[in-house]
A = this chain, B = another copy of it.
Amino acid sequence: MMNATENINTWITHLSAKAKMSISVDCVIFGYDEEGLKVLLIDCNMPSYEGKKSLLGDLVEVNETLENAVTRVLQKRTTLTDLYFEEVKSYSDPDRHPLGRVITLAYYSFIKISDYKIHDTEDKHLEWISINEIPDLAFDHQKILEDCYLRLKKKIRTHPIGFSLMPKKFTLMQLQNFYEAVLQIKFDRRNFRRKLNSLDLLIDLEEIQDNVSHRPAKLYSFDFKKYNQLLKSGDLNFAL
């Protein structure tokens, strides 16, 4: 125990080896395709959790930031770079990991499943699982997933993080299906369309769907350029 004035930010002169521990990052990798919202999970073979699935994670190396570690995990598991991700919170129960003291920081990411390629044969125990069919997970990963999903749902209503998961050209119905799948709520079609039009961030491509056995829908793309301008200038209120 330290005396009243010693602490990490004032008087101490060295870091005790005894108080050192392992840090990990755990990533809830959300993915979307026409079937809906899914999460990338891996089989866990650690004693006492055998047969369960877990999130993707790894230990943080001594010379990298947490963000570096997340980038590394995401790249290794999806082969994709420059992915969006966000920190959610820490999990630090001393008994949370059977191998010893491991504090973890939870992050979530969100990708288009069709962009994802199975990386190598050893990754065959990796699987996309529908958000509605998540099994019991190893460690405290159930809680981590819940917390990250809540954050995603909050974030996606105020930030256009979903548009990079759309096809380059999409219909308003595809967009609505996406939001309904992620948020697990239904929108009124007319109100949804009016809302999106009023944002004035969709580009009408003046093209229509082809080879559909019903009235073809107009195609749109998202105006990332305009969005970034509005973001910088500060007068943006994106909300769904």
Contact = CB atoms under 8 A, between A and B. Distances in A.
B123 A4 contact: yes
Contact of A60 (B19, B44, B102, B119): B19
Interface in A167-196: none
Given A15-B59, A23-B23, A103-B23, A42 B9 contact: yes
A211 B125 CA distance: 75
Nearest to A19: B59
A61 interface: yes
A54 B5 CA distance: 13
A212 interface: no
A18 interface: yes
Given A7-B57, A54-B9, A123-B5, A21 B18 contact: no
Interface in A103-123: 103, 105, 119-120, 122-123
A226 interface: no
A94 B10 contact: no
B92 A89 contact: no
A212 B77 CA distance: 68
Given A87-B90, A139-B9, A4 B120 contact: yes
A237 to B, nearest CB: 15
Closest 10 CB pairs of A and B: A20-B20, A9-B54, A66-B92, A65-B92, A7-B58, A8-B24, A4-B122, A5-B122, A15-B22, A9-B57
Given A5-B122, A9-B46, A90-B90, 16 more contacts: A2-B58, A3-B122, A7-B73, A8-B57, A8-B102, A13-B99, A14-B99, A15-B22, A15-B59, A15-B99, A18-B62, A19-B59, A19-B62, A23-B103, A60-B92, A60-B103
14 contacts: A4-B119, A7-B58, A8-B102, A9-B24, A10-B43, A10-B46, A10-B54, A11-B46, A12-B99, A20-B20, A23-B23, A23-B103, A62-B101, A63-B94
